[in-house]
A and B are shown apart, each in its own frame.
Chain A
Amino acid sequence: MPITSHYLVKRAIYMLLSVFGVSIIGFALFRLLPGDPVELMVGPGYFAKEEMAALRARLGLDQPIYIQYFIWLRDFLSGNFGRSFRFDLNVLDLIIERLPATLELIIFSVIIALIIGVSIGVISAVRPGSWADRISQTTSFVGFAIPHFLWGIIFVVVFSAALRILPASGRLDMDIEVNKITGFMLIDTLLQGNVSAFTNALTHIILPGLALSMGLIAMIHRTLRSSMLDVLNEDYIFTDRMKGLNERYIIYVRALKNALMPVITIVGIQFTFLLGGSILVEKIYGWPGLGNLVFTAVQYQDLSLVQGIIMIYAVIVVLTNFAVDLIYTLVNPKVEFK
């Protein structure tokens, strides 16, 4: 039994404590930032001082920060994320509406990164010093050095403006209607058997997905190359070869399985970074996800919305880390969590 119930309970407590800690830091940070959210909210509305004070009181912003926090925590625990004063909508509704778009983009980019990163990582490790290795090492260096948003701009210029083969923005062509089931466009189109809409959604996600995955491809490639080189020098691989096992079987099954362990860690950690990276990529590609929402929420100091998004991000991060641990045990049953 690689995971014990005791471990699960302990882990759950740690996860709750992490989320709780993030909630305090996020709450304090945005309330201590310079700037008056009420002033931003009313803008040039020519509100009188008294009216501004009344509005501030209505939003609870006239209370000491710790009281504000406890009020927020009470509401949050009862499932009330508050109301966004920028959008005048329930924060949870706003997040639920946009979260699938962001998750779809991130998961898609992780899949792309895994396919490309693992492929070139294996090639590099199997033939170290070869042309293929040198080219992939240089490419991954470039991929790593250039930030997500810059890749986004490069891809838009090359594939949308110059070649005109992929769309520059949105999730789907405007004329295509897809009923919302999961909110994941690729899945919804398939569930409805709408192949042309699926293809259309795929063409829309390729560029932002690729822009987001470039750094991760590079990391996977370099990590896998290094771990694979180590694994290929292990005694058990030597033994396998001595046994006359097929070289492909040795590389892709026997060696890769163990070499993938650090890759899983990298993907887990990077998944959370991709959440951050998606903010600018979504802006460039007009992707209607959480990234755009974060942008607006921070710009207008929409405190309820900022806090709601922070909480969702925190939950995603701790769950991703937990999922990574579970995957460890699947890939390598020798790994035990007690």
Chain B
Amino acid sequence: MSETRVLLANIDEPDLHTIAVYERLGGYQAARKALLDMEPEAVLHELEESGLRGRGGAGFSMGKKASFIPKGSMDKYLCCNADESEPGTFKDRLLMQKNPHMLVEGCIIGGIAAGANKGFIFIRGEYETQADILDAAVAEAYERGYLGKRILGSDHSFDLVVHRGQGAYICGEETGLLDALEGKRGNPRLKPPFPANQGLYQGPTLINNVETLCNAPLIISNGAAWYRQYGEGNSTGTKIVSVSGNVQRPGNYEVALGIPARELVYGLAGGPPEGREVKCWFPGGSSAPVLTKEHLDLPYTFEAMAEAGSMLGSGAIIVVDDSQPLVPLALRLAEFYRHESCGKCVPCREGTNWTVKMLERIDEGEGTPMDLDILEQVQGNIMGNCLCVLGDSMAMPVASMLKHFRTEFERHMEEARARRDLAELQPMGADELGSMAEAGAA
């Protein structure tokens, strides 16, 4: 088994980012078909039939999400979530840099399905190169009449704006993204109301990930049945998997869902460096609970990962090999979420902070066995108790590391304590020790 390139079929074509090359390879035919030959309901129906699930992390059916948008004459919006900040994920970067028109076309089709006349691509500010490329692509699409008023002579108008964020992980959360797009601090909102009913500027809003929207032109061109031939069960289609960490060939690999995870980690990415083994791996970005090497033979699908107690998430595999101590890794992870917590909900703001403090304590040799119990308890108290899942995103992997590798945490703590005790003795030279002994004798 190897890669199944559908989204990435033309990715190595030179100058694919220009509209001329994209059109030569059949680009914008799907948008043309959706605008001129299909009713909006048919477009929506096709997307629903395909079984395409959101590629951003939650894995919710895209067609179903679009069908929740109420009909009517109010202003509706489409938002493309290109704030790819989940550690381990870098698939959208590749798509936007190499094939920006595919995303523009996907946005047009998404706009038709949602009945939206205004779309925004919210791209993270760090992706300056990719945002420049997208800006150029949008300008080209306007020039050729794929965007703007009454596109290609149809009744549908669609404007698209590339909006750059300024560096905040939480803006990848859909309601945080909406607040950032409205020019505020990117704090998540209470749900319900869901964005489909009340989103951007209080209007109904469809929010989809870059990869999800890039699938739309393929589904419209080839039909839902064609799309369903890839994948397994309710995980239809192909998925771009970003493999990183301790592997020999990190990168983006597009596979049909259902491929064994081992094939991805060892077959495509080359496995850990010579002489090392997989200790654990994140199947869906750093927010996903870790799995061990025993889980490598599971099929890589939304369902199988959920059954194993983790999630497919954004489809980013981070491999941790057996040379890596886990406490510093957990600490780095927790520090990330502490930094990125917006501070709105107490369990997340305090929970991430105390998790970092406890892990630091363990790492510096000041932890006690009770800390591990408290650590576990804190994770439990974060999960499910906040407006968004940022806190859970730290709690789940940290709790899973503790679950699978508790003895390593205990050993690390003991070793650190031993080192600390030794260090406390070290600054004393032989003279001091001698005088101390004398004092003791006296």
A associates with B: no
> Chain B: residues with CB nearer than 8 A to chain A?
none
> Chain A: residues with CB nearer than 8 A to chain B?
none
